Structure 1
Amino acid sequence: MENIKDYQQYLEGYGFEGNTPTVIDFFATWCGPCQAMSPMLQRLAQEYEGRLKVIKIDVDQNQELASAARIMSIPTLFFINKDGEIQRYIGSMPYQQLSALAEQIVD
């Protein structure tokens, strides 16, 4: 299993604190599925405010991090629990699945 410690050097300036469950969305502005996911991720951030953090990372603007994270397809989502363990999901998904995955890392 991946651990966020492998990527922390690249996350400066993104507000990643490491002690709050976090969803990282690797996206691009030109990506249709990424654009479709954006409102759902905003909703997720609002509904889980204080319990979960959502960070968006544009792979075109952050190529070094995208390369280090081995991002080959977008959207790619990292669901990171309090212990820093990462569950990686590739592709878009319905809100119900996003919410279910979020529930797994906030417990």
Structure 2
Amino acid sequence: MENIKDYKQYLRGYDFEDNTPVVIDFYATWCGPCQAMAPLLQRLAKENEGRLKVLKIDVDKNQGIALAAKIMSIPTLFFIDKDGNINRHVGGMPYQNLTKLAEEIMG
């Protein structure tokens, strides 16, 4: 199982020690499915403010973490629970599925 602690060296300036579940969206500006997911992720962040954090990582600008995280397709989403365990999902999804996965990590 993957854990966010494996990627801490690439995530400077972000602290995962506050035990807030996180969704990380690995995307690119030129990616159509990534663009389709963007408003869904914004909505998810707004509806779960204070309970969930949503981060976006542009794979073109952050190639080190994309390589370390073995990102082969985008969008790739990391759903990270309060213990740092990662559930990886590749590809877009409807909002209903996005919220279901988010609820699982929020407990």
Instruction: State the TM bucket, normalised to the shorter chain.
Output: over 0.9
- Once the two structures are superposed, residues 61-95 of structure 1 have per-residue CA deviations (whole angstroms, 9 ceiling, x without a partner) of 00000000000000000000001000000000000
- Percent identity of paired positions between Structure 1 and Structure 2: 72
- Once the two structures are superposed, residues 4-61 of structure 1 have per-residue CA deviations (whole angstroms, 9 ceiling, x without a partner) of 0100110113x34342100000000000000000000000000010000000000000
Q: Which amino acid aligns with 1:37?
A: M
Superposition TM-score, scaled by structure 2 size:
0.96
Distance change (3 Å), C-alpha of 1:56 and 1:16: farther
Unaligned runs of 5+ in 1: none
Counterpart residue number, 1:78: 78
What does residue range 20-99 of structure 1 map to in structure 2 within 5 Å? Answer: 20-99=20-99
Unaligned runs of 5+ in 2: none
Stretches of 4+ moved more than 2 A in 1? 15-18
